[in-house]
Chain A
Amino acid sequence: NAGVTQTPKFRILKIGQSMTLQCAQDMNHNYMYWYRQDPGMGLKLIYYSVGAGITDKGEVPNGYNVSRSTTEDFPLRLELAAPSQTSVYFCASSYSGRGVTDTQYFGPGTRLTVL
Chain B
Amino acid sequence: QQQVKQSPQSLIVQKGGISIINCAYENTAFDYFPWYQQFPGKGPALLIAIRPDVSEKKEGRFTISFNKSAKQFSLHIMDSQPGDSATYFCAASGMGSSNTGKLIFGQGTTLQVKP
The interface of chain A, by Cβ under 8 A from chain B, is 4, 31, 33, 40-45, 48, 50, 56, 58, 90, 92, 94, 96, 99-101, 103-109
Among B45, B94, B100, B108, which residue has its beta carbon within 8 angstroms of that of A50? B100
Residues of B contacting A: mostly: loop
Asked if A94 contacts B101 (CB within 8 A), the reply is yes
User: Is B61 positioned at the interface, with any CB of A under 8 Å from its CB?
Assistant: no
- Collect the chain A residues with CB atoms within 8 Å of residue B42's CB: 108-109
The interface of chain B, by Cβ under 8 A from chain A, is 6, 9, 32, 34, 36, 41-46, 49, 89, 93-95, 100-103, 105-108
Distance, CA A31 to CA B102, complexed state (A): 9
Asked if B44 contacts A106 (CB within 8 A), the reply is yes
Distance, CA A43 to CA B6, complexed state (A): 13
Asked if A48 contacts B102 (CB within 8 A), the reply is yes
Distance, CA A69 to CA B101, complexed state (A): 21
| Nearest neighbor of A99 in chain B, beta-carbon distance | B95
Distance, CA A11 to CA B104, complexed state (A): 27
Expressed in whole angstroms, the minimum distance between the Cβ of B37 and any Cβ of chain A is 11
Expressed in whole angstroms, the minimum distance between the Cβ of A97 and any Cβ of chain B is 10
Expressed in whole angstroms, the minimum distance between the Cβ of A98 and any Cβ of chain B is 9
Asked if A43 contacts B102 (CB within 8 A), the reply is no
| Nearest neighbor of B110 in chain A, beta-carbon distance | A40
- Closest 8 pairs between A and B when the two form their complex, measured CB to CB: A106-B43, A101-B101, A42-B105, A96-B101, A42-B107, A43-B105, A99-B95, A103-B46
A103-B46, A106-B43, A107-B43 known; A42 and B103 CB under 8 Å? no
A40-B9, A42-B108 known; A104 and B103 CB under 8 Å? yes
Query: Mind listing 17 A-B residue pairs with CB under 8 Å?
Result: A33-B103, A40-B9, A40-B107, A42-B6, A43-B105, A48-B100, A50-B100, A96-B95, A96-B100, A96-B101, A99-B95, A101-B94, A103-B46, A104-B103, A105-B46, A107-B43, A109-B41
